[in-house]
Structure 1
Amino acid sequence: MYAIASRDDLVAAVGVELGHSDWLLVDQDRVNTFADATGDHQWIHVDVERATKESPFGGPIAHGYLTLSLVPVLASQVYKIDGARLLVNYGSNKVRFVAPVPVGSRIRLSPKITVAEPVGENGFQVVVGQTVEIEGADKPALVAETITRVYY
């Protein structure tokens, strides 16, 4: 776990490889639960039989936004920002779903802080490059730049 204990540590972490999360299984139950939560029941995600027969991927794949939604839980395994009174999701600069995540595969996150600049009196705007890897795959599932406001 990469610990960021102060404002100085946050600035010093820019450009540092923070590590990797544990591998997380993306199973059909998780995909179905996400489909229920979002109302996105497209057959390529939830109809195993049809996806196996008709999709170009040979079976069901996870929703891209499911993969993106797993970034916070995976990031919490890699680094933590201590001493801040508030962290706020401020959005994303860029999100790309580079490769599909086949149901039954495992993913992990490799985050890297690319920007930490002061904003306001007691805050920092932090940009993190997020790469979600698929175990055994040549290409990542997701690359994104997420933005967090950190207030001390």
Structure 2
Amino acid sequence: MSRVTAVQTIPTERPATKIVVVLRDDLAPWQVANVTAYLAAGVAADVPELVGEPYADADGNSYLPTLGLPVIVRAADAATLAGCRSRASARGLPTAIYTAAMFGTGNDRDNRAVVAAERADALDLVGLAVHGPRNAVDKVVKGTGAHP
């Protein structure tokens, strides 16, 4: 049994796009983890070419692929988060959202129903993810801070 010993070179070129998750700054730690995972999965589902190749360790065990771009996590108050959603929409950038009501559901159908019941400007957002050209995403998340 031969083992692969080559190490793949990591590109040093900066990617043309970026993924940013913005979370409301009052979430519990379990909510931070849950919402971030949910939103990152939304980006991966929308843009499958962002998903890299599967992993394998030196023993031959296989692991699922992950996003090929870093996911930057930011924090904001509710008003700033709503502004991010509005700017992303105005720029036509792909956006995943998570609302407070979604914490009370247990399935995707009910998640979509609670979102569909609210107008865009009335959504009680707890998080969003946006993907797009670096400069455009930076403008969308302007005013957010580093997540603690």
Q: Using structure 2 for the length normalisation, give the TM-score.
A: 0.28
Larger helix percent? 2
Larger strand percent? 1
